[in-house]
Each structure stands twice: as structure tokens, then as C-alpha cells.
Amino acid sequence: MTRTYFGTDGIRGTVGQPPITPDFMLRLGHAVGRVLKRSIAHPTVLIGKDTRISGYMLESSLEAGFASAGVDVLLSGPLPTPGVAYLTRALRLDLGVVISASHNPYPDNGVKFFSAAGEKLPDEWEQAVEAALQEPPQWADSASLGKARRVEDARGRYIEFCKSTVPHSMSLRGVKLVVDAAHGAAYHVAPDVFHELGAAVVSIGCSPDGLNINDGVGATHPEALARAVAEHRADYGIALDGDADRLQVVDAQGRLYNGDELLYVMAADRLARRQAVPGVVGTLMTNMAVEQALKAMGVPLVRAKVGDRYVLEELIARNWQLGGESSGHLLALDRHTTGDGIVSALQIMQAVRRQRRPLAALLEGVQLFPQTLLNVRLRDGSDWKRNPKLDGERVRVESELAGDGRVLIRASGTEPVLRVMVEARDADRGRRCAERLAAAAVAH
């Protein structure tokens, strides 16, 4: 069944345009409620949100939709996406609902769902919801309507959970941190987590007004973090995105560490503690230098499709624990059921404190390969997969790079563009190879 509303991470779009409208959200809450009631007599769901001004409207609409189907609702207010996943599991609820558009600007918003176990739901569940959306509503009678109440201690519960993911003996005393919450859902959580663990915390991006989420701050704008680290002479800076499931780190020298490097640090630290790391899951975009460094330690890297959802699926299928994306979505399934920027940051700080070495030293010998990415506009009706010139050039380039680089060619999912990426130890060589591939792609 083709999905009409659900994408790779829930339902997302521009507020005021279908499907991000109050009438659709009421229908969505009602449809999800009906799907839940097929297996649960009287379900209870948790709704959390980020700091977008549209969250008030969408929250009310979803609440009404759930109540109209006979589903009780708990409201957490602003809370990181991984916080909603945690509370759904901890409170033994039937579903977690997050109103957020993650790293997107404030005019966008969306909805995503977590199972009772705090995990992303499968395609089959989303298809069942889409089918229910096509059916006429079945309003519950007055005696069967759902009720709603606020969870007053949601923030405190989640702060304690984050702290529990590192040993009680771990302290950040003597560490000065800049914490950037992107004016998003972690604005009243992230600074307190690190402060309560002993760090001297400087907060930026922690003054949401409903319109400034991800605006020049946060994980998608790490330059603000780098400036603040230098200004305050901090040891490290930690930047989250609007819903706090993504992480970027900056050190005192202004070096930015991406998700691939941080994933390596997490794996290497576990090996240093003699913990088993049977494998790590990355994506098609994971840097080859990290793959080679992991391999040198005896840890294989498996590549999933781009998207933390696909990384998670691969981890579960292999019963592995560590995975992530270059963008900073990191997963440690023995710590949380989903990607969590704060928990990931604590894992990195734990590695630095335990080994008594700066982050740069933990990455000695891991020099990321430069990547050249070219967007090639395709002619109407052209099939790049049946282009013999591109096929031949790709074989030649891969033979030339032979262990010192790789090629990734994939079509854009949103426009008629072919994305040609070459990763090579030598940047100039990689750029030349990418240009040859791009020329071959349009020669068809």
C-alpha cells in the first residue's frame, strides 16, 4: 500500500497547508485512536512537542481527536523527542506522540509516533492508520470519551533518566560546557542535565519564543556554538537540534566533530573498557575513514539507507547496539530505544573523562576523507541506471580509488536530480573523479 501522509519520519509539512492543519490533526488523532482500540480496550497516549508556536494548535487538535475515539491523553508540554519515547515506556503507556519538525524552521511542523516500548513504529502500523483515515469517523458516546491531563513532572523524570545513562561515579566537575538547545524542546532540560553532573554550563539557544527554533543556532548551525565556546573559553560545546535527537560537538580549539567521528569515539571507548562491540551501523554517507578505523579495531561497519529509522532497523535485526549518521543522529540501544542527543553527548563526555584525554586525541589517526557532492540535473525521461557511459566511468573511478575512496550515486527523492558523491583520501582527486562521473551522467 502506498502511503499518502507518512514519510520516513512521521508526517511533516508547512503549517496551514495540508496535512499540517487542525482539521487533519483531529482526524489523525481519531484514526490513530481507532487503530489502538482494535487491540487495547481503553488506551492512553502521551503527547509531547517542541517549542514551535503551531504546537499549541496541533496539540489541541490531536487531543480532541484522541478523546473523540475514547483514548485518554497525557500532555507533557515541551519535551525532547527521546524524552517522549522514554516516558511512554516508563509510564507504561500505549503510544507516544511527538509534535515536531526536528531541525526544520518554525513554519514547518509534524507528528511522529512511538510504540509502548519507546520505539519507532513499523510501516504496517502507519498503513493501518492511513487506511483508518479513509474511513468515516466513529465518534465515541459521551460516557466513553477520553480524558486529558498534564504530566507535571515530565521534565524532571527525563532529566533523571538522562543522568542514569552514565555511571553514578561520573562527574563533570572542572569542565566548562556551552550547551545550545536550538531554542527547541531541550531548552529547559539539557543545561540542567550537565549542570547537575557538575559541569559549569553556559546556555545559548535556550530562550524559545515560538518563532526562533533552529534559527541560527543548534546542531544545524554549529558556527554559533563555536563562537560561544571561544568567547567563554569553554572546554567543549554541545549543540542539539529542535527536538534534541541530533548532536554536534565543538572543542576549545573550535574543531567541529560530526556524527561519524562521535560514533567512532563511542565504539572505541567501549572496546577500551573491554566491552563487546560486534559491529556498528552507519549509512551510505558514513565516512570511509571511520569505516577503515573501525575495521582496524576488528569492528565491522554495515551501511543502512540514509535515515536514523533505517539505522535502527538494521541494529535491531543484527542485535547490535551502536549506530548513527554523519548528521549527528546517534543510537546506543543499551542506553535508549531511540536516538538521543543528550544521552549521546554524555557518552562522549564519559569517554573523555574516563580516558583523561581530549576528544581530538581520541580521534588520532582518524582523518576524515574529503567528500565531493555534485547535483546533476537529469533530462526528462532519462534513466541513469541504464546509462552505459556512467556505468563505465563508475567502474574506472572505483578501480582508480581502490581502497582510498568510494563512489555513491543516488537519485534525489524530491527533485529530478542525481546526487554524485565521491569520497577520497586526496580531495583534488575526488573532485576530478566526481566531475568525470557528472559529465558521464549527462552524456546519456
141: exposed, middle or buried (Cβ count in 10 Å: 0-12, 13-18, 19+): exposed
346: exposed, middle or buried (Cβ count in 10 Å: 0-12, 13-18, 19+): buried
Nearest 5°: the CA angle 420, 424, 426 is 130
Spatial separation of the C-alpha atoms in residues 84 and 244, rounded to whole Å: 11
Catalytic residue among 68, 102, 115, 344: 102
Q: Residue 55 has what DSSP assignment?
A: H
Q: DSSP readout, 314-371?
A: HHHHHT--EEE-TTS-EEETTT-SS--HHHHHHHHHHHHHHHTS-HHHHTTT--PPPE
Spatial separation of the C-alpha atoms in residues 237 and 218, rounded to whole Å: 11
Residue 102 designated active-site = yes
Spatial separation of the C-alpha atoms in residues 386 and 391, rounded to whole Å: 8
Compute CA 22 distance to the chain's CA centroid, rounded to the nearest angstrom. 26
Q: Is 16 helix (H, G, I), strand (E, B) or coil?
A: coil
302 close to 290: Cβ distance less than 8 angstroms = no
Q: Which cell numbers in the block locate residue 245?
A: 535527537
Phi, psi of 87 (to 5 degrees): -65, -35
Nearest 5°: the CA angle 399, 402, 408 is 80
Compute CA 166 distance to the chain's CA centroid, rounded to the nearest angstrom. 21
Q: Is 211 helix (H, G, I), strand (E, B) or coil?
A: coil
Q: Which of 69, 85, 51 is nearest to 144 (CA)?
A: 69
Spatial separation of the C-alpha atoms in residues 303 and 320, rounded to whole Å: 13
Residues catalogued as catalytic: 102
